[in-house]
Chains A and B, each alone.
Chain A
Amino acid sequence: MILMKDIYKTYDNGVTALNGINVEIDQGEFVYVVGPSGAGKSTFIKLMYREVKPSKGKLIINNKDLTDLKEKEVPLLRRQIGVIFQDFKLLSRLTVYENIAFALEVINESPRNIRKRVMDVLELVGLKNKARFIPSELSGGEQQRVSIARAIVNHPKLVIADEPTGNLDPDTSWEIMKVFEEINARGTTIVMATHSKEIVNTIKRRVIAIEDGRIVRDQHRGDYGYEI
Chain B
Amino acid sequence: MKPLTGKSGTNILIGIILALAIAAAVIALVTTDRTAKKGSRLGPEFGYDLTEQKKIDPALILYREAAPVIKTALQKPTALAVGPHDRIYVAGDREICVFDSQAKPLPKIKLTSEPRCLAVAHDGTIYLGIQDHIEVYNDQGKKLAAWESLGDKAVLTAVAVGKNDVFVTDAGNRVVVRYDKSGRLLSFIGKKDPDRNIPGFNVPSPYFDLAIAPDGLLRVVNPGNLMIEAYTFDGDREFWWGKPSTNSIDGFSGCCNPVNFALLPNDEGFVTAEKGLTRIKIYDPAGKFVGVVAGPETFAEHDRILSGKGQGNLEGGLDVAVDSQNRVLVLDPLTDEIRIFTRKTKNL
Are A and B associated in one complex? no
